[in-house]
Chain A
Amino acid sequence: MIRNWLLIGLLAASTYLSRIIGLELMAGRKMSPALRSYFHYVPVGIISALIIKQIFVPTDGRIVISLPVLVACFITFVAMKMFKMFLPSVVVGVICGLFIRYLLNA
């Protein structure tokens, strides 16, 4: 509990600092286009890695593909591409993943 609040406090401080530093110190300064692009790509890289870490699960010292997660992600990918609606795509993805889990356990 205390650990969680400590984490929240540190995240709040570091996030606020990143906001105020940009506003106060970086305004008017020229930044290279490459650095700008790099900053924009970082979240894409981290989110992709998070998805991979959920699909490839370490089990007994080796990695195993979680079929329900893989299918759920694929269906969400297709749903987002087709309908471009966040919440319905998430719900459809979860339902498909659950269905695969049900089939695997049947």
Chain B
Amino acid sequence: MDEKKSVRSGLIEALPLAIAIAAYGLSYGVLASQAKFGLAETVGMSLLVFSGSVQMVTVAMLAADANLTNILFTTVLLNLRNLLYGAALAQGIAPAGKWRWLLSFGVTDEPFVLGSARFKRYGPDPLYYAIVTGTLYLAWIISSLSGALIGNRMDPQQWGLDLAFPVTFMALLIPGLKENPVIATALSAAVIAVVLEYFFSGNNFTLILTGVLSPLIGLYVKRRFRHD
């Protein structure tokens, strides 16, 4: 594989996604500052975790006074999909040898999409994957920092930053709602969460129980549609 080609393709293909990721990063930075995260903590989490969904959910749960155990359990659930991504990317990254331990840091939604498409067409290409991950990582860090700087200087109520949490999650959710099982998962999650909040108002288990139960409804719908 031509190294120059890998670098050029990695940069060109990662750039549009880097812009999209920067929008999420900006939101994360603002939200983290609303969850009483300092500048160093906000950027530190982006540097060390590098996962939009985990970081967003964590700051939202912190803002709602969730305890450490619940946050960890919920994020473990969120991270389950990384097992699939890692398994799918393993062959494409394998030629990197021990560097794959570093490249594995990029096993997350967007690099997975680009990496798996590349490996399918051209075979293993760890350099391409490194360029993609590095570009997206930089975009995530810089935008998190920018968001934290903006968020720290605003009065949350006056600027509606408290509304940014649910609105951001809604904007994250919508693009994925295309297939019936996914829609069923989202709707059943809404029903389960409302019921739990109604009967056990302000409890700490709504997210965990909903996260475990609602995908089962999605699976049920998937099977039903396949057999009909």
Q: Do A and B bind each other?
A: yes
In contact, A58 and B197 (Cβ under 8 angstroms) = yes
Q: Tell me the total A-B contact number using a CB cutoff of 8 A.
A: 276
Interface size class of B (residues with CB under 8 A): 35 or more
8 Å CB interface, B22-42 against A: 23-24, 26-27, 37-38, 41
Q: Compute how far the CA of A89 lies from the CA of B163 in the bound complex, rounded to whole angstroms.
A: 13
Interface size on A, residues (CB 8 A): 71
Within the complex, the shortest CB–CB distance from A3 to chain B, in Å, comes to 7
* Contact status of A90 and B215, CB under 8 A, knowing A27-B90, A56-B194: no
In contact, A39 and B80 (Cβ under 8 angstroms) = yes
Do most interface residues of chain A lie in helix, strand or loop, or is the interface mixed?
helix
A84: chain B residues within 8 A (beta carbon)? 175
Q: Compute how far the CA of A22 lies from the CA of B89 in the bound complex, rounded to whole angstroms.
A: 9
In contact, B206 and A19 (Cβ under 8 angstroms) = no
A26: chain B residues within 8 A (beta carbon)? 83-84, 86-87, 90
A63: chain B residues within 8 A (beta carbon)? 197-198, 201
- Pick from B171, B181, B210: contact of A48, CB under 8 Å: B210
Within the complex, the shortest CB–CB distance from B38 to chain A, in Å, comes to 7
Check: B58 CB closer than 8 A to any chain A CB: yes
In contact, B60 and A50 (Cβ under 8 angstroms) = yes
- Pick from A19, A29, A101: contact of B107, CB under 8 Å: A19
